[in-house]
């Protein structure tokens, strides 16, 4: 499978490029391919799937302008998915965040069916929420299949051995991110849109991962 990773300045996208097994993963440089007359983005050709890093912060370093963060998460995501759908891309894996559910009390059993609670005072997290909605709308219009992976927080580099109690009950290591994305690219899904909660298998996980286990075969192994 040929996979387009976006945005190109995302540290996560760059790390996934070398860690998706059995796939040809390419970083998206499509932000430079704009039609001079219409202003529309041209379609990336020859890809089977697209992975979009919609996580708060993206590849930005230092302070982020709120309007720029929202534009990046909404308009640019829409442009990318429209171009991808027009070129025949059949699947999108949108990387969202379990932080969208963090305001529920810790003792609540929060599943994929719960409503997200994006804070209006955090433009990057609000943008993550809006980007997920845009991706899910493409699925509802039957333009492509979408798997929205809401990833744990914080994201810790390395394997599960790098996790400890100080990271809390919703953390995920980057090895597990790669494993979940890899599985999501080829998972047999019957619905046009599927939301999946993914965190590392901690001793006392905050979020249930029944859908991840059933659909992605994740996680393998036991708690960190």
Cα dist. 216→90, 194, 206 in Å?
A: 18, 11, 19
Q: Tens digit of pLDDT for each residue in 102-150?
A: 999 998 989 999 999 998 888 889 999 999 999 999 999 999 999 999 9
Question: Does 2-216 carry CATH code 3.40.50.720?
Answer: yes
Residue range 35-62: mean pLDDT, rounded: 69
| Whole-prediction pTM | 0.90
Q: Tens digit of pLDDT for each residue in 71-108?
A: 888 988 998 999 899 889 999 999 999 999 999 999 89
Please report, for the chain, the start and end positions of each structural domain, with discontinuous segments joined by +: 2-216
């Amino acid at each position: 499978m040929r996979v387009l990773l976006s945005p190109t300045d995302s540290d996560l996208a760059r790390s996934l490029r070398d860690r998706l097994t059995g796939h040809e993963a390419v970083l998206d440089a499509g932000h430079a391919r704009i039609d001079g007359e219409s202003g529309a983005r041209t379609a990336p050709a020859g890809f089977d799937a697209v992975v979009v890093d919609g996580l708060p912060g993206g590849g930005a370093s230092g302070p982020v302008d709120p309007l720029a963060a929202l534009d990046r998460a909404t308009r640019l995501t829409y442009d990318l998915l429209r171009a991808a759908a027009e070129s025949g891309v059949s699947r999108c894996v949108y990387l969202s965040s379990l932080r969208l559910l963090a305001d529920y009390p810790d003792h609540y059993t929060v599943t994929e069916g719960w409503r997200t609670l994006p804070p209006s005072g955090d433009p990057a997290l609000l943008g993550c929420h809006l980007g997920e909605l845009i991706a899910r709308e493409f699925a509802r219009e039957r333009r492509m299949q979408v798997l929205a992976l809401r990833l744990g927080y914080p994201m810790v580099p390395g394997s599960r051995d790098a996790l400890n109690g100080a990271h809390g009950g919703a953390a995920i290591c980057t090895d597990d991110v790669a494993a979940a994305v890899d599985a999501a690219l080829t998972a047999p899904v019957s619905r046009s849109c599927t939301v999946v909660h993914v965190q590392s298998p901690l001793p006392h996980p905050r979020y249930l991962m029944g859908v991840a286990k059933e659909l992605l075969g994740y996680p393998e192994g036991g708690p960190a």
